[in-house]
Amino acid sequence: MSDLHVLSVVPEIYPLVKTGGLADVAGALPLALAPEGIRTTSLVPAYPAVRAALGQPQAEHVQPDLFGGPVRLLRGTVAGLDILAIDAPHLYDRFGNPYVGPDGRDWGDNALRFAALARIGADVATGSVPGLRPDILHAHDWQAGLAPAYLTYRGGPRPGTVMTVHNLAFQGQFPAGLLGTLGLPAEAYNIGGVEYYQSIGYLKAGLALADRITTVSPSYAAEITTPEGGMGMDGLLRVRAHALFGILNGIDETVWDPATDPHLVAPFSRDRLEARTANKAALQARLGLAPDRRALLLGVVSRLTWQKGLDLLLDALPHLLGFDLQLALLGSGDRALEAGFAAAAAAHPGRIGVVLGYDESLAHQIQAGADALLVPSRFEPCGLTQLCALRYGALPVVARVGGLADTVIDANEAALAAGTGTGVQFAPPSREMLEAAILRLAALWADQPTWQRLQRSAMDSDVSWRRPAARYATLYRALRDERRT
Ligand code: ADP
Ligand code: GLC
């Protein structure tokens, strides 16, 4: 039985549409909250993939015109998720990446597309769909950031609002002249409202006006209140520090379970680690790497962007190839990084295997077959790939930032003595420090009994949603009770 109802307002949700970790979180958190007595309805744009997954849903609510076309709300259940999809063909009937057009640039009407998501979120939160009366509106990232603003400036009774920052680098900034078109009053355009450097800031609005702000790790929550990590928002976040909480992400342990993973040639577990070698051999074969059990196989599964620091790895490769190492990289993003890794693979066949693109199955195979996973991010709000790596016994090598710092225990001397290490951390994120970390990893690899102990403690790490879900539940309940009194 649920006693609290959350309307989660999200621009992407696994398994329907995903560009990154936000979709994983949006798809897993509702399932993890159910045992806490919390029911979640997820409001998402009805992109073609969402509409297809819903089949023949019931139209719940019709609005003749919003930003140039009609809007219907479609209701259905997909993969255990209660989905409310905004069917607005003029805004969302576009294939591929939800934010970017075929020319690789942001859709020109993103301001309207995501204002619509937030505005309908605010409508639903205040009862526009019969039978739905959420206690909490939970907005994720800039795409949903205007929802608290619509609720604030409409006045009247409203549920509590939570704004979660998955990545402060994406802020959603649009021309001030849109204010009237968006349906926001002139009074909204001020420093305590939606105004941000003479424009309208969608994330800024959410950060200024939501009752609570969360982000996806305690370390990132601290970093974003500093000028170095605040990306222009640190002043506001310092003012709101009393309402800011860092709650780590988890991963869906049914999607990421090495004992049952259908993408693997050989299932394994902490007590059957030897079965991992078949996955390593399969990965080497798939990526054209030499079939060498003793080479230390490093994996990467990542967006290729400045955030992820993979240019540091590219620069380090010439120095690392003197050692008995292999690299299996899956990623897509910046053209220069894609070209750089493709060239490295062409120059070192058998040592470097690169797949450019998005491939869920290969992502699982890298986690299961690589000996270690590299995440040299310059900043990382939480990061999910290192959590998958822990669960799959691929030792994470991570920059000591954000959620990476909070989830990996460095195998330093003290940790080795205590048997608590789960990976390798390095700081600051630089080519030299990344190289040093990989050499430290190689020394651990040379001592196989120690390596296997580390693998087991990595696999014993709690990367589930249980603890995070309980923390969200506490936060939601406190907020609901506060607004009732
Ligand atoms: P971010 O959201 O910043 O990209 P996260 O680590 O939080 O980083 O989440 C990334 C998610 O996307 C993980 O589930 C990861 O497995 C997946 N992923 C990233 N790149 C790829 C890719 N090229 N192919 C398949 N999955 C990918
Ligand atoms: C963002 C962040 C990543 C985080 C994910 C889910 O994409 O870059 O660190 O894990 O959101 O919260």
Question: Measured in angstroms, how far is the CA atom of residue 385 from the centroid of ligand 1?
Answer: 7
Mutating to test ligand 2, I would choose from 216, 217, 248, 386 the residue with most ligand atoms within 8 A of its C-beta, which is: 216
Tell me the backbone φ, ψ of residue 165, rounded to 5 degrees: -95, 115
End-to-end CA gap in the chain: 24
Render pLDDT for 276-334 as a digit per residue (tens, 0 to 9).
999 999 999 999 999 999 999 999 999 999 999 999 999 999 999 999 999 999 999 99
Closest ligand 2 atom to residue 380 Cα is 9
Q: Closest-lying ligand to the alpha carbon of 386?
A: 1
Closest ligand 1 atom to residue 382 Cα is 7
Q: Do domains 4-250+466-484 and 273-459 have the same CATH topology?
A: yes
Q: Which of 74, 73, 71, 40 is nearest to 55 (CA)?
A: 74
Question: Measured in angstroms, how far is the CA atom of residue 359 from the centroid of ligand 1?
Answer: 10
- Which sequence spans correspond to the domains of the chain? 4-250+466-484, 273-459
pLDDT at 286: 98
Closest ligand 1 atom to residue 307 Cα is 3
Mutating to test ligand 2, I would choose from 14, 22, 247, 398 the residue with most ligand atoms within 8 A of its C-beta, which is: 22
Question: Measured in angstroms, how far is the CA atom of residue 251 from the centroid of ligand 1?
Answer: 12
User: If you average pLDDT over every residue of the chain, what do you get?
Assistant: 97
DSSP 22-84: HHHHHHHHHHHHGGGTEEEEEEEE--HHHHHHH-SPEEEEEES-SSSS-EEEEEEEETTEEEE
**Does the Cβ of 247 fall within 6 Å of ligand 2?**
no
pLDDT at 473: 98
| Maximum Cα–Cα distance across the chain | 68
Render pLDDT for 341-391 as a digit per residue (tens, 0 to 9).
999 999 999 999 999 999 999 999 999 999 999 999 999 999 999 999 999
Closest ligand 2 atom to residue 402 Cα is 9
Separation between Cα atoms, residue 120 and residue 125, nearest integer Å:
8
**Does the Cβ of 469 fall within 6 Å of ligand 2?**
no
Query: Given the structure tokens 């009247």, which residue do they identify?
Result: 156
Element (H, E) at 442: helix 431-445
**Does the Cβ of 21 fall within 6 Å of ligand 1?**
yes
**Does the Cβ of 407 fall within 6 Å of ligand 1?**
no
Ligand 1 atom 17, closest CA: 20
pLDDT at 61: 73
**Does the Cβ of 21 fall within 6 Å of ligand 2?**
yes
Q: Where would I find the beta strands (DSSP E) of 141-240?
A: 160-165, 173-175, 195-196, 199-201, 212-215
Q: Closest-lying ligand to the alpha carbon of 252?
A: 1
Closest ligand 1 atom to residue 166 Cα is 2
pTM assigned to the model? 0.97
Closest ligand 2 atom to residue 381 Cα is 9
pLDDT at 153: 98
Ligand 1 atom 24, closest CA: 358
Mutating to test ligand 1, I would choose from 354, 384, 401, 404 the residue with most ligand atoms within 8 A of its C-beta, which is: 384
Strand-pair partners of 352: 327
* CB contact burial 113-125 (16+ within 10 A = b; e otherwise): bbbbbbbbbbbbb
Element (H, E) at 139: strand 136-140
CATH architecture of 4-250+466-484: 3-Layer(aba) Sandwich (3.40)
Question: Measured in angstroms, how far is the CA atom of residue 392 from the centroid of ligand 1?
Answer: 16
pLDDT at 259: 98
Closest ligand 2 atom to residue 20 Cα is 7
**Do the beta carbons of residue 299 and residue 362 sit within 8 Å?**
no
pLDDT at 293: 97
pLDDT at 108: 96
Mean per-residue pLDDT, 409-437: 97
The pLDDT of residue 397 is above 80: yes
List, in sequence order, the alpha helices (H) in 348-381.
360-369
Question: Measured in angstroms, how far is the CA atom of residue 463 from the centroid of ligand 2?
Answer: 15
Ligand 1 atom 15, closest CA: 385
The pLDDT of residue 182 is above 90: yes
Question: Which of 3.40.50.720, 3.40.50.2000, 3.30.70.3420, 3.10.129.10 is the CATH number of 273-459?
Answer: 3.40.50.2000
Please give the structure tokens belonging to residue 53.
């997954």
Closest ligand 2 atom to residue 384 Cα is 10
